[in-house]
Amino acid sequence: MNDIFETYLKSQETKNSYRYVWNIFLEYLKTSEEKILSLERKEQEEKIVKYVNFLKEQKRAPTTIKLRLSVLQFAFSMNDIILNWKKLKRMTPERVKPSGMDTWSDSEIREMIKVAGTVRNRTMIYFFASVGCRITAFTELKIKDIEDFEDCICVMIYSGFPEEYPSFLTPEATKMLKYYLKIRKDRGEKLEPESPLFASEAVVNKIDVTKQMPRPLSKQAATHAFNRIFKKFPNSRTKTGFRYNIQVTHGFRKWQATKLKLKIDVHHSISERLLGHKAGLDSNYFVTNSREAKLQLFEAFKKCIPDLTIDKTETIQKAEQYRHELDKLKTKYDDLLKSFKMIANGIEENHLFDANSVD
């Protein structure tokens, strides 16, 4: 079965997720892969029905059950076993209002950074808040997927895949990422184009990074890191059934999306592009990895930087600096206006004097 997943799935994260769901199915049935695949079709369907009923008793979300059935369909189909999936999928409960749709607040994200601990964890928070990508895309990012854009960084999400799109890090997130990469470089790691953008610390501590490239941070490790952070400060995350109202990393994506879409001077199609969404018919003509497209998106992103900046200290300082410069310009303008009026009055007086002299 591992060969089937490896052969027919592209993304490593998808391979891992499918294997995980398949193994849970086997564990529930207390059987092996060989045994379940060797059963008669009717018995296989009965096993799947039993499993679906178990998930429904556990009050699993309809979307979760649908996803697991899709994985089972993939596994059986790739082994040339054709089951009545139309009937099996009819067992999925009716969809309800999805949970996990809330977003983090600005103050909660600032608290996360305070208690995050390691540089890597702090960098992850800045990264997710700025880019807002899905965690499956995050774990596959490599050094070659980033490039400098002024005082920001452009990140190609899903690089090399049809879904690829550019996103950007704010100046503060850029500084944090460069600091994190510098630490890795200082300890001897050779950062190559294929090096993971975020490395597994557990692996790094066990290998000689001067000779061996570390593994990328996995979805599970990133999720565990965030869950440890969430436990360190009071937050609005509550659990209903099997799901929280704020998802681990999707809460950052919702936060970023809210900031982008509330920016009235950023066109809707541009904000959708920054989120990696298709934006109408132009998706057939908009080449997302071209320099021109990146520049266009970056100009829009710059308008959102103040809203996406977590530490407002620098933003406030810049605002004060701009206000100070504006006051100086206003004073200079008033002085020039005063001088102009004095000159104008002088010209008028001279004109009257000349007219009286003629009379």
Give the global pTM.
0.69
Please report the pLDDT score of residue 93 as a whole number: 83
CB 275 within 8 A of CB 288: no
Confidence class for position 79, pLDDT limits 50, 70, 90: very high
Percent helix, strand and coil across the chain, each to the nearest 5? 60, 5, 30
Contacts of 234 (CB under 8 A, 6+ apart): none
CATH topology of domain 106-310: hpI Integrase; Chain A (1.10.443)
Phi, psi (deg, nearest 5) at residue 243:
-125, 150
What one-character DSSP code corresponds to residue 61?
-
| Chain segment 248-282, per-residue pLDDT in tens | 888 888 898 888 887 867 777 777 888 877 765 45
The domain locations on the chain are: 2-89, 106-310, 315-359
Tell me the residue type at 171.
Answer: P
223-231 long-range contacts, CB within 8 A, separation 24+: 223/135, 223/248, 223/249, 225/121, 225/124, 226/124, 229/112, 229/115, 229/116, 229/117, 229/121, 229/125, 230/112
- Tell me the three state secondary structure of residue 199: strand
Residue carrying structure tokens 């060989």 = 34
| Chain segment 85-141, per-residue pLDDT in tens | 999 999 888 776 555 578 888 999 999 999 998 999 999 999 999 998 888 889 899
